[in-house]
Amino acid sequence: MNKPIELPFNQKKRQLNKKQNRESIILASRNIFTEKGLDSSSVREIVSRAGLGSGTFYNYFEDKVEVFLLIVNRIINEFSNFIIPEINKARTFEELVNIAFTSWFNW
């Protein structure tokens, strides 16, 4: 039988910190991209806003475009998860269009 491997506490903590660092970078990036746009933002601003060291960004992402694409993908997934159940309620094409527009503006 395969028994799950139990990691020592310090390794669990390290994995948790890595996940938190990555999510901090993503959140800071999203905020800065919203405020300034992709082209006008810098990795230095992102890590500063995330409260991390300057080299930390590159442990998780190759460049700001990579994190931008991840953010866009997350937004697409969030919207898809929201709108698909709503669209499935439509019984006619007219209802589908109405639901789609209403969902877009209420999301």
pTM: predicted TM-score of the whole model, two decimal places: 0.76
The mean pLDDT of the chain is 90
pLDDT tens series, the chain, 107 aa: 566 666 566 667 777 789 999 999 999 999 999 999 999 999 999 999 999 998 999 999 999 999 999 999 999 999 999 999 999 999 999 999 999 999 888 88
Q: Are 28 and 61 in contact (CB under 8 A)?
A: no
Return the percent helix, strand and coil in the chain, to nearest 5.
Answer: 75, 0, 25
- CA torsion 32→38→40→45, rounded to 10°? 40
Q: pLDDT tens across 52-74, in order?
A: 998 999 999 999 999 999 999 99
